Structure 1
Amino acid sequence: MQATQLNLASHFLDRNLDLGRSDRPALLGPTGPTSYADLAALTNRIGNVLLEFGVRPGDRVLLALSDGVEFVAAWYAAQKVGAITAEVYTFLTAKDYAYFLDYTDATVIIADSLTLDRLREAGVQDRTVLVVGAGELRSNEHDLDALASGAESTVDAVLRAEGDVVLWKFTTGSTGAPKACPHGVRSPLNSHEWYARGVLGLTEDDIVLPVPKLFFGYARDLTALFPFGVGGAGIVFPERTTPERVFALIARHRPTVLVNVPTMMAAMVAHPLAADQDLSCLRLCTSAGEALPPELHRKWDNTFGVEVIDGIGSSEAYHIYISNRPGAASTGSIGSLVPGYTARVVDPDGVEVPDGEVGTLEITGATAASGYVGDPAKSATTFPGGDTVHTGDLVVRDPDGEFHYRGRADDLLKVSGIWVAPSEIEHCLIGHPDVVECAVLGHNRDGLIRPYAFVVVTGEATEDDLRRFVRERLSPHKTPERVVFVATLPRTTNGKLDRRALRALDVSS
């Protein structure tokens, strides 16, 4: 879609009022449904509050806010007055919040009772903080609920041109500090048309339940942006996501689309009451954010029978750019190109490799960011120009145009002089009936790199059992030198494996 001057709040939210959907539910939450008309009015009132506190076009507004109607309204309010939105997880440490406060240099921070104390510790005393569900406040902190209730319910939308940045999407920080990818209006517009409508076929009858929280753009867009573009609805809830919570929300709201990640899929499959759940309302379950092992995919199919639409995307390219298709999903494949994108699979010199060979994925499309904020060196490597993103993901493209994920280029291990993809060992281990999830890292032992497997199990498998399981299925040099049993694997706020934290674990015993 060609992006002209427009406003995302007007396009995705207000347009529903013009199309006669004022009374349709936009959001379903703990207190019941919120109509498009009510959400639009709250958005406008918060927009007027932001204007009162000096927010102007191009200013950054940082949301450190639990999922709920207020989160969605605040996000659209910032968009409506022309600000740049950025969002952070509600369970970060004060140190992490200090990083984001400094990095974004936000004009206004929107917080709640869950995040306020840690934001104070991080140092917000010289910044304007608007608080949802306010208690006792300091001089720079203001009760957003009270202010919004007294504000006007109309506000003018600020039109944004194609070259204007309207939102920041943060990288996951799994290998370094999170960086912001700035996007203009064309990114969400194109992704909505190409992926949400063109691949998933979202309609006004869809109700979307997200497993990740809304600070994660993958979930926010699929819950409170893309459904709004067709008059559908999203489900919001402030609590941490657990299998029990997901099962309860499915039973209560009967969603049609579940936005999922492999970590939660594994937990849902392993839940003792999994077989008792009725997921028949779901027409599909999306999977993204990390690799979906084929064996986990099969376990999901056998347990729930809900079609999984696995795909891959990134903050750098805004959202999903390769995906399976409803009715034609293939286990072990991340699918084919989403309409609107082209791709090359290249060797380390940038030369395209033949189909069937492993290479690094380069994706080109009109949703690419302009670079990383504040990191020109890394931007030059990842964004070579021409709306192209050098993803760092290793893939194989087959003759049918299907892509198969082979891990990250920077995760490869050289074992006995041979390159090994940790994901191959991980996918093998997840096939063991006692393994819930696992991760493989390289460990330097006497100057040599050896694969170490970190596993979460539910049964009584021993280290010898699991090493034998791999040795019988893969080449000998891919057998883990050690199998380390852990209660959980460390995750980033987006649910991806935190390899830095995993490397810090003591494996000497």
Structure 2
Amino acid sequence: MSLDSNRMIVDVFAEACRDYADSPAFTCINHTISFRELDELSARFASYLQNHTNLKPGDRIAIQLPNVLQYPVAVFGALRAGLVVVNTNPLYTATELKHQLTDSGAKALVVLANVAGHASEVVAETDVEQVILTELADLHPPLKRTLINFVVKHIKKMVPAFSFNNSIPFNKALASGATRPWQPVSGIPDDVAVLQYTGGTTGVAKGAMLTHRNLVANMLQVNLHMNDVFKKNQDLFVAPLPLYHIYAYTIHCMCALSLGNHNLLIPNPRDIPGFVKALKGVPFTCFVGLNTLFNALIRNTDFRALDFSNLRCTSSGGMALTHDAAKRWEELTGVPVSEGYGLTETSPVVCINPRFSIKLGTVGVALPETEVKVISEDGESLPVGEAGELCVRGPQVMKGYWQRPEATREILDDEGWLKTGDIATIDEDGYVKIVDRKKDMINVSGFKVFPNEVEDVLCEHPDIVEAAVVGVEDEESGEVVKAFVVCSNSELTEKEIRSFARESLTGYKVPHYVEFRDELPKTNVGKVLRRKLKE
């Protein structure tokens, strides 16, 4: 079956808003916006960008928001204005944010006030000309908005001090946009829609260029693959995973939205009591999560007391699903977990376990119009059951890395095959099993951590001579970071090292464990043997 991916995301969006105008689209903190309201609000935002900023089609706009109602409004507004969305993690430190803003050449930033402190430190050193500042409840009704924003800022003290030379409140931008109509922008499906930053299979964060065609294709592939589970205009998807991650973005802002379905946004899934409270009395049908989250919820007494009678589908991605978590989730909810696999570079979904043919321990079978193979170190295709590097080809494979042609050539060949960097086997039924990672990337609750980055930070400490970082298994997070350090100061403590790392690194990248060593194992040319440390 051929998938018609020759469309722009804005066309898919317009069709959904037309066909399901009066249906609920997104709910957050007990307030819901319909498809009609989403259409109107995003058009206003697009008009603001077109008529009240210097932004032109093709310019980049960074969006640094958790799962709040402003996220889909800003993203679809930006795409309607012909801009390229740069999804930006609200947990980033100032250093990490500066790299992404500088590398992407972003000219505007939409940021939540709660995390605007880091942005205010670095924006002046980037190309960002306009900051659009939003508070948590900005799209709620006036009384509720005032109350929630007041409590967050003044009672809970969750908003840091910050200052920008050129900023505008989100709601003021929407009001400005309402004065003139949004003007449709011409574009082609091979235009870049999203710059999604990833370490790829190596080193420093790079922007994967995901086109309109890539994202529309992956939406169609997933919807077709899941057509015995996903219903049109009937499903309620629980959305705890951050929409700035391409997995959650594709599932909630593409797949669910295109089918006229309703998404329940969870701004802070780490707040398990608050998360469970948001689910009470809600007839959710589809749950999208990952291993860490399943483990935390299963242990919560109030979650165990919820009504799961409407639940039809549980999807897992972002990190390996453990047998124990899958078993306990199914025992509690009556619904098995369908584990899938993908990469930022594949928009992201490559494989999913079919809901009614799950093989636990595998990541399922390839999506429609997706080819997978495993190759030897010499690049030769391997037979069924043999382990090798997994390669993928399909319409969801990225255009390449932003302004990094050499890095693109390393991972993507002339025939369209993408090397994933993961070691896998494929069985006789086409089910893919991920055996190991080719590189040393560490996966903390679905977040990628690259040892080089952490080691570089640690080695900036005046008392640290050498450092090496590996991932170690952790029941809660799948993996956590462990650092091995050689010090010149015997009084240096683990606590001091972790505090030092936290100044430059997001929390999940900070070493969970620190082990002091007299020396690190190395090859005869002096390269540190991380494998030996891990063993």
1:378, distance to aligned residue in structure 2 (A) = 2.3
Provide the alpha-carbon RMSD of the alignment: 3.3
Correspondence for 2:133: 131
TM (norm. structure 1) is 0.79
Correspondence for 1:15: 15
Distance 1:67 1:396 in 2: 35
Q: Secondary structure at the match of 2:248?
A: helix
Aligned residue among 215, 239, 264 for 2:293: 264
Do the aligned residues in 2 keep the contact of 1:211 with 1:241 (CA within 8 Å)?
A: no
Do the aligned residues in 1 keep the contact of 2:65 with 2:111 (CA within 8 Å)?
A: yes
Correspondence for 2:256: 227
Do the aligned residues in 2 keep the contact of 1:394 with 1:405 (CA within 8 Å)?
A: yes
Do the aligned residues in 2 keep the contact of 1:196 with 1:226 (CA within 8 Å)?
A: yes
Distance 2:192 2:427 in 1: 37
Distance 1:367 1:174 in 2: 18
Distance 1:277 1:507 in 2: 46
1:177, distance to aligned residue in structure 2 (A) = 2.7
Q: Deviations over 1:269-299 (max 9, x none)?
A: 3335554333332211110111112233223
Correspondence for 1:505: 514
User: What's the % identity of the aligned pairs?
Assistant: 19
1:178, distance to aligned residue in structure 2 (A) = 2.1
User: Match of 2:514, as an amino acid?
Assistant: L
Do the aligned residues in 2 keep the contact of 1:10 with 1:80 (CA within 8 Å)?
A: no
Name the stretch that deviates more: 120-129 or 169-178.
169-178
Distance 1:215 1:301 in 2: 28
Relative to structure 1, is the Cα distance of residues 254 and 173 closer, same or farther in structure 2, using a 3 angstrom cutoff?
Answer: farther
Correspondence for 1:467: none
Name the stretch that deviates more: 46-55 or 268-277.
268-277
Correspondence for 1:367: 396
Correspondence for 2:495: none
Relative to structure 1, is the Cα distance of residues 179 and 235 closer, same or farther in structure 2, using a 3 angstrom cutoff?
Answer: same
Do the aligned residues in 2 keep the contact of 1:212 with 1:241 (CA within 8 Å)?
A: no
**Aligned ranges for residues 235-274 of structure 1 at < 5 Å?**
235-274=264-303
Name the stretch that deviates more: 357-366 or 288-297.
288-297
Distance 1:69 1:453 in 2: 36
Distance 2:129 2:37 in 1: 29
Relative to structure 1, is the Cα distance of residues 255 and 157 closer, same or farther in structure 2, using a 3 angstrom cutoff?
Answer: farther
In the alignment, structure 1 segments of 5+ residues that lack a partner are: 413-421, 427-438, 442-448, 458-491
User: Match of 2:9, as an amino acid?
Assistant: L
Correspondence for 2:221: 194
Name the stretch that deviates more: 167-176 or 217-226.
167-176
Q: Deviations over 1:125-167 (max 9, x none)?
A: 7621111239986441112211312423741221321331121
Distance 2:184 2:281 in 1: 35
Correspondence for 1:26: 25
**Number of residue pairs matched by the alignment:** 440
Correspondence for 1:410: 439
Do the aligned residues in 1 keep the contact of 2:22 with 2:36 (CA within 8 Å)?
A: yes
Correspondence for 2:530: none
Q: Deviations over 1:27-77 (max 9, x none)?
A: 112242211111111001111111120221110010012322211111001
Do the aligned residues in 1 keep the contact of 2:8 with 2:189 (CA within 8 Å)?
A: no
Q: Secondary structure at the match of 1:215?
A: coil
Relative to structure 1, is the Cα distance of residues 276 and 61 closer, same or farther in structure 2, using a 3 angstrom cutoff?
Answer: same
Q: Secondary structure at the match of 1:110?
A: strand
Q: Secondary structure at the match of 1:37?
A: helix
Correspondence for 1:418: none
User: Match of 2:134, as an amino acid?
Assistant: V
Correspondence for 1:89: 89
Relative to structure 1, is the Cα distance of residues 124 and 452 closer, same or farther in structure 2, using a 3 angstrom cutoff?
Answer: closer
Distance 2:281 2:303 in 1: 16
Relative to structure 1, is the Cα distance of residues 55 and 353 closer, same or farther in structure 2, using a 3 angstrom cutoff?
Answer: same
2:148 is the alignment partner of 1:158: no
User: Match of 1:9, as an amino acid?
Assistant: V
Do the aligned residues in 2 keep the contact of 1:227 with 1:234 (CA within 8 Å)?
A: yes
Correspondence for 1:42: 41
Distance 1:33 1:397 in 2: 43
Name the stretch that deviates more: 196-205 or 252-261.
196-205
Distance 2:378 2:36 in 1: 54
2:331 is the alignment partner of 1:330: no
Relative to structure 1, is the Cα distance of residues 250 and 329 closer, same or farther in structure 2, using a 3 angstrom cutoff?
Answer: farther
Q: Secondary structure at the match of 2:75?
A: helix
Distance 1:334 1:456 in 2: 20
Name the stretch that deviates more: 154-163 or 272-281.
272-281
Q: Secondary structure at the match of 2:328?
A: helix
1:220, distance to aligned residue in structure 2 (A) = 1.7
User: Match of 2:298, as an amino acid?
Assistant: V
User: Match of 1:163, as an amino acid?
Assistant: D
User: Match of 1:33, as an amino acid?
Assistant: T
TM (norm. structure 2) is 0.75
Relative to structure 1, is the Cα distance of residues 62 and 287 closer, same or farther in structure 2, using a 3 angstrom cutoff?
Answer: same
Relative to structure 1, is the Cα distance of residues 340 and 242 closer, same or farther in structure 2, using a 3 angstrom cutoff?
Answer: farther
Q: Secondary structure at the match of 1:356?
A: coil
Distance 1:452 1:188 in 2: 31
2:158 is the alignment partner of 1:140: no
Q: Secondary structure at the match of 2:288?
A: strand
1:252, distance to aligned residue in structure 2 (A) = 4.1
